[in-house]
Amino acid sequence: MSNAIHLHYEVSGEDFTRAGEASGAVKKRLKSLGYDPDAIRRVAIAMYEAEINMVIHADGGYCDVDIYPDRVEILLADHGPGIPDVEKAMQEGYSTAPDNVRSLGFGAGMGLPNIKKYSDDMRIETTIGVGTNLYLTVKVNT
């Protein structure tokens, strides 16, 4: 595990316009490391959707990213309200986002489905009133 590159980002819950900064930074780093463009895009999109979710639903949180030669592992953790029904949240089109979020271009109920689609492994640990940990792994062709 010593050959992993570890990155940490705080995600502010107050400024929607800054959501995506962490994902953009990770994308840039992976690009500079010469990773496969398709894998980089999958990491960036999955992480971006998760970052947006964090800002919309959970008032921010943090991301830990571990970059290995063959995969990228991401933890997105928040102290938000938790997800009451994960199965429902995974359905395309299901959203609990408020209307003002929809006017910003999100809340279409595609966030978690998109994250699942672009990651090779996705695990959600969520507790009502405590928060949510989202673990993602994206494999990289070497």
Partner 1 sequence: MIVKDIIDILEGEIICEGDLTQEIKTACGSDMMSDVLAFVKDQSVLLTGLVNPQVVRTAEMMDMACIVFVRGKIPDESIIRLAEQRGITLIKTRFRMFTACGLLYMNGLSGGTKV
Contact set with partner 1 (CB under 8 A): 16-17, 19-20, 23-24, 27, 37, 41-42, 44-45, 48-49, 52, 102, 104-111, 113-114, 117
Nearer to partner 1, 97 or 124 (CB): 97
The Cα–Cα gap between 13 and 101 comes to: 13
Q: 5: which 2 tokens?
A: 């590159």
- In the complex, the smallest distance separating the C-beta of residue 142 from partner 1, rounded to whole angstroms, is 21
CB nearer to partner 1: pick between 3 and 17: 17
CA–CA gap between residue 104 and residue 81 (Å, rounded): 21
| Structure tokens, 79 | 């102290």
Nearest CB to partner 1, comparing residues 79 and 110: 110
Give the gyration radius of the chain's Cα atoms. Answer: 14
CB of 23 to partner 1, least distance (A): 6
Q: Which is nearer to partner 1, 79 or 116 (CB)?
A: 116
Closest approach, Cβ 3 to partner 1, in A, equals 26
Least distance from C-beta 136 to partner 1, angstroms? 14
DSSP state of 78: E
* Smallest distance, partner 1 to C-beta of residue 113, A: 8
Cα dihedral 8, 11, 17, 20 sign: positive
Q: How far is CA 89 from the centre of its chain?
A: 15
Pick between residue 95 and residue 132 the one whose CB is nearest to partner 1: 95
Task: In whole angstroms, give the CA distance from residue 136 to residue 120.
Answer: 8
